[in-house]
Chains A and B, each alone.
Chain A
Amino acid sequence: MIVFGRRVRMEQRLTTPSSLLVVVPVLSVLFALVVGGVFLALTGHPPIGTYLDLLDNGYTSFYGITDTLGLATPLVCTGLSAAFAFRMNLYSIGQEGQMYLGMIGGTWAGIVLADALPTAIAVPVVLCCGALSGAAWVALPALLRARLGTSEIVSTLLLNYVALNLVNYFIFGSTGFFRDPTTSFPQGRTVSENARLSPLSFFTDKVTNTYPTFVIAVVLAVSLFWLMKVSNYGYETTVYADSPNTARYAGMNSTWLQSSVLLISGALAGVGGAMYVVGPAGKVDPGLLQIGLGYAGIVVAALARYNFVAVILAAVLFAGLRTGGNALQASSDPVPIAIAVVLQGAVLLFALGGELFRRNKVTIVRVKQAVA
């Protein structure tokens, strides 16, 4: 491409200077803010003031950051789920549906099993049931993928819609098990108190929206990171992801590797749904359907470049934009939530676009003469 007698030239980098690993993401976020600022200015909002508000409401104020951590909790799980599958070149985008199933399975356990159990056991039982339900939801796509090579992208995506309708049916379409029998208003039946955790207060007397499940999510991310680094399972999946032929050569079982990775990925998303039950919801709550934390998990995984520890940071960053955006919408000079969504999109776009600069050296050269 020649513009004003200059040509953009790209050369692959042999080595990436370590400074770029910091500079590129920071610049990506800055550029995203500039783009979002243009939208803000166009809609008549002062960009800088709005950003400061966003920062305050999303990250720096007490209620801002605690709301953000609360929202980030299931997001860490769906982010881990996506990262776990994507690292193996399995592009499961079923986190949304698996998370709903986690919520359903967790609620079932919370209603049926938790009454007889102390909280210290009931909560893990609920989380495990959520994980199993999430894994079960991906079992069919996993089997199809490993045995017949069916695209997991399509099968997991379609099951998201099935899961969504399942939740709607349980609450709005029927008066069955998950529906609260005490009221005619369509809402979910609450789980046993033993299966609930109370929010963290962070040594104050305030009631926050952050639950101890956030700590569980962080522990999950860190242990997953460590296990995949040192364990044989982590080693085999890494080999398989890098070169399926090498894995076959070494006698690894590709059917087992592919299906187990998808099942674990489903379980991680399911845990996210169950954490929603243990924490804020306490029931099958259609409100979860509105916020798209499953799909956002894919974005979080991409931002984190499939690094399990980085998923925590990306989830908090992403959740903060959402809580900050929500607060702006409710402020005296309401900024539409769409702006926050534009900002999320811009962050993702620039972060992924920044890869180009990390991998390539881009120079602009003057073109000496037109080519004969």
Chain B
Amino acid sequence: MSQAGRAVAPALVARGITKRFPGVVANDSVNFDVARGEVHTLLGENGAGKSTLASVLCGLYRPEEGQLLRNGAEIRLNSPRDGLSQGIAMVHQHFRLVDRFTVAENVVLGHKSLSFVLDNAAIEERVASITQEFGLPLDPRAVVGELSAGERQRVEIVKALYQGAELLLLDEPTALLAPPEVEKLFITVRAMTHAGKSVVFVSHKLGEVVDISDRITVMRAGKVTGSVRRGDADVRRLAELMVGREINIVPRRAKSPTSDVLLSISQVHLEREGAEILTDINLEGRAGEIVGVSGVAGNGQRDLAEVVAGLRMPQRGNVTVCGVPTSRAGALGARRAGLAYVPEDRLGTGLAPSLSMVDNLVLTRKRGFIVDRKSALRESEGFIRQLEIKTPGPLTPTRKLSGGNAQKVLLARELFAVSGARVLIVCSPTRGLDVGAVEAVHALLDEARDAGKAILMISEDLDEVMTLADRVMVLYRGRITLEQAGIDADLDRIGRAMAGLAS
């Protein structure tokens, strides 16, 4: 038999991978393979087991069962270093870089064959040649701490390529990127596959993976539920494979005309350690509408929320909640004026993780010398029934709840338990939640809007903003750079504004 007639073994095959963690089977006899020069996407909701599988493939986790074949030969990986020696590297969602080092220093960090004295010129030259070959614009001498999220990701990719990676696992690579940066990343991915490298793309964002993938494998609850090739990929079908049932994504908008201004932010200006964080922010929230503030993480969103919530005092400017000026009133003053706040970090800021649902419900209400837990217990039981919160009971620590259920507890408190709050700030309300929970949270916000609340929704998830908001704003480097009505929002312009490109 001739060489060409024999089927070429895939770059990496995983057979019957089972990985358990206490209480969950993260991977249940999963089969997966990736060919040379192929982009194979692992698609699934949070908690479906994609990251676990990627970690098994790169040697970070050792599976309880199953085997790995590299170019047809069985391999055993005991550490990411073993993976690297097989040419397998992973780019993690959270970057593992040293901020004070330069790009080149980060790239060679941990590399085995380094001489005692670093030959910086040679290293920088090699880094520069990699960046050119794969379309990764980077200055090898730049200090990593000063780079954007997209640039840092490029450093991680260059690092993997420098170490000789032939197979790259990219874990949620687009999570922190603005749309134009995503396009640049895709160019790099294409360049890598042209050079015969394989890419495993881990993502939960349906829309974007269809363009880049040669194959898409969908996971749900630790199992592979389906696999489609380029050309057969249909977004609706993939969504159903992810969720396990049919879903409908319809935009929700205000049903009645909006009325009085409940929240007004005028000329707010915030500095921290001499740096401008927010510049000249003007914004109005009316009863019965959702204002969506979109933008790439780190452009001042959290600070804006904290200023409105009374947690941060702006140097200049005014915030009024239901007519009461609150920019100097502190968190309690803002709440008294009628504000409720659902922060982005739900377990750890919005909720005290070791405390029960009952104790978390009393967090933002007025408490006497003795804390009244009896009424909170009754309320908890009501919420558990009404909102279908899955929990062993109202006294279970909230950290034991899933993300979606914890968010329901937080929303219940801020939407219903706080008496009289008419203004609501929500930050990334569905981050990390599965599709079912996203639906539930969106329905709750929609209901609150109908009930006449003024909602300021700050979210990096553009889809979410487009689905819910009556007005859309883009925050870029602490300024509002774009404002559009939700119905005529132009995705392309919003994307460009998020990236700081003049429209």
Q: Which residues on A are within 8 Å of B, measured CB to CB?
A: 11-14, 230-232, 234-235, 238-239, 242-243, 245-246, 248-251, 371-372
By beta carbon, the residue of chain B nearest A12 is B22
* Neighbouring A residues of B350 by C-beta, 8 Å: 246, 249
Let me know if B367 and A14 touch, CB within 8 A.
no
Interface residue tally for chain B (C-beta within 8 Å): 31
Residues of A within 8 A of B113 (CB): none
How long is the Cα–Cα vector from A248 to B312 in the complex, in angstroms? 11
Chain B contacts to A: CB under 8 angstroms: 22-23, 76, 78, 309-311, 330-332, 335, 341, 343, 345, 348-355, 359, 362-364, 367-371
Q: Which residues of A contact B353 (CB under 8 A)?
A: 242-243
Which of B330, B348, B359 is close to A235, meaning CB atoms less than 8 Å apart? B359
Shortest B424–chain A CB gap in Å is: 15
Question: Per a CB cutoff under 8 Å, which of B332, B363, B370 touches A239?
Answer: B363
Asked whether A239 and B23 contact (CB < 8 A) given A231-B371, A251-B331, the answer is no
Contact A231 B348 (CB under 8 A): no
**Structural contact, B348 and A243, CB atoms closer than 8 A:** yes
Known contacts A235-B371, A246-B363; 19 additional CB pairs below 8 A are A12-B22, A230-B371, A231-B371, A232-B367, A232-B371, A235-B359, A235-B362, A238-B359, A243-B353, A243-B354, A246-B352, A248-B311, A249-B309, A249-B343, A249-B349, A250-B363, A251-B331, A371-B76, A372-B76
18 contacting pairs across A/B (C-beta < 8 A): A14-B23, A232-B369, A239-B352, A239-B363, A242-B355, A243-B348, A243-B349, A243-B351, A243-B354, A246-B350, A246-B351, A246-B352, A249-B331, A251-B331, A251-B332, A371-B76, A371-B78, A372-B76
Q: Is the interface of B mostly helix, strand, loop or mixed?
A: loop
When A and B form their complex, what is the total count of cross-chain residue pairs whose Cβ atoms lie within 8 Å? 66
Interface centre among A232, A238, A243 (most CB of B within 10 A): A243
Closest B residue to A250 by beta carbon equals B363
Question: Do residues B78 and A232 form an inter-chain contact, with CB atoms below 8 A?
Answer: no
- Are B330's CB and A14's CB within 8 A? no
List A contacts of B341 (CB < 8 A).
Answer: 249
The answer to whether residues A245 and B349 also contact, given A251-B330, A251-B335 and a CB cut-off of 8 A, is yes
Contact A246 B22 (CB under 8 A): no
Contact A246 B348, CB 8 Å, known A12-B22, A251-B330, A372-B76: yes
Residues on B with C-beta less than 8 A from A14 are 22-23
CB distance from B289 to the nearest CB of A (A): 25
* Cα-based distance from A249 to B332 in the complex (angstroms): 9
Query: Which partner residue on chain A sits nearest B364 by CB separation?
Result: A250
> Once the chains are docked, how many angstroms separate the CA of A239 from the CA of B363?
9
Which of A13, A234, A242, A245 has a CB less than 8 Å from the CB of B345? A245
List the B side residues contacting A243 at CB < 8 Å: 348-349, 351-354
One of B78, B331, B370 near A231 (C-beta < 8 A):
B370
When chains A and B are docked, how far (Å) is the Cα of A292 from the Cα of B22? Answer: 43
Contacts of A246 in B (CB 8 A): 348-352, 363
Contact for A242 among B330, B354, B364, B369, CB less than 8 A: B354
Assembled-state Cα–Cα distance A250/B309 (Å): 10
Choice from A13, A242, A251 contacting B352 with Cβ under 8 Å: A242
Which chain A positions have C-beta within 8 A of B367? Answer: 232, 235
A249 surroundings in chain B (CB, below 8 A): 309, 311, 331, 341, 343, 349-350
A249 to B341: give the CA distance in the assembly, Å.
Answer: 9
CA distance A188 to B348 in the complex (A): 52
* C-alpha spacing A174/B311, complex, angstroms: 53
Chain A contacts for B368, CB-based, 8 A: 232
B309, B341, B370, most chain A CB atoms within 10 A: B370
Which residue on chain A has the smallest CB distance to residue B331? A251
State in angstroms the CA–CA spacing of A13 and B23 once bound together.
Answer: 9
A235 to B363, CA, bound (A): 9
- Please name all residues of chain A whose beta carbon is closer than 8 Å to the beta carbon of B354 when the two chains form the complex: 242-243
Known: A230-B371, A232-B369, A250-B364. A239 touches B331 (CB 8 A): no
The 8 closest A-B pairs by CB, nearest first: A251-B331, A251-B332, A242-B352, A245-B349, A246-B352, A242-B354, A232-B367, A243-B352
Q: How far is the CB of B139 from chain A (nearest CB, A)?
A: 36
CA of A235 to CA of B358, assembled, Å: 12
Distance, CA A368 to CA B186, complexed state (A): 44
A12-B22, A372-B76 given; A239·B355 CB < 8 A: yes
Q: Which residues of B have CB within 8 Å of A239?
A: 352, 355, 359, 363
Determine the residue in chain B with the shortest Cβ distance to A251: B331
A278–B355 Cα distance when bound, in Å, is: 41
| Residues on A with beta carbons closer than 8 Å to the beta carbon of B78 | 371
Q: How long is the Cα–Cα vector from A214 to B23 in the complex, in angstroms?
A: 47
CA distance A235 to B369 in the complex (A): 10
Cα-based distance from A14 to B355 in the complex (angstroms) = 17
Query: In the complex, A66 Cα to B363 Cα: how many Å?
Result: 45
Complex Cα–Cα for A243 and B350 (A): 10
Cα A235 to Cα B373 with chains together (Å): 11
Chain A: minimal CB distance from B473 (Å): 24
Smallest CB separation, B92 vs chain A (Å): 23
- When chains A and B are docked, how far (Å) is the Cα of A231 from the Cα of B368? 8
Which single residue of chain A is at the shortest CB-CB distance from B367? A232
**Nearest neighbor of A240 in chain B, beta-carbon distance:** B352
Bound Cα distance from A81 to B370, whole angstroms:
22
Q: Is the CB of B355 within 8 A of A11?
A: no
Residues of B within 8 A of A371 (CB): 76, 78
Contact status of A231 and B22, CB under 8 A, knowing A246-B350, A251-B330:
no
Complex contact B363–A231 (CB within 8 A):
no
Among residues of A, the one whose C-beta sits closest to the C-beta of B362 is A235
Residues of A within 8 A of B370 (CB): 230-232
- The distance from the CB of B472 to the nearest CB of chain A, in whole angstroms, is 27
CB distance from B403 to the nearest CB of A (A): 16
- Closest Cβ–Cβ distance, residue B341 to chain A (whole Å): 7
A11 and B332 CA atoms in complex are apart in Å by: 43
Minimum CB–CB distance for B86 against chain A, Å:
13
Which chain A residue shows the least CB distance to B335?
A: A251
Give the docked Cα–Cα distance between A250 and B349 (Å): 9
**A250 vs B348: C-alpha distance in the bound complex, in angstroms?**
12
Distance A235 CA – B350 CA, assembled complex (angstroms): 16
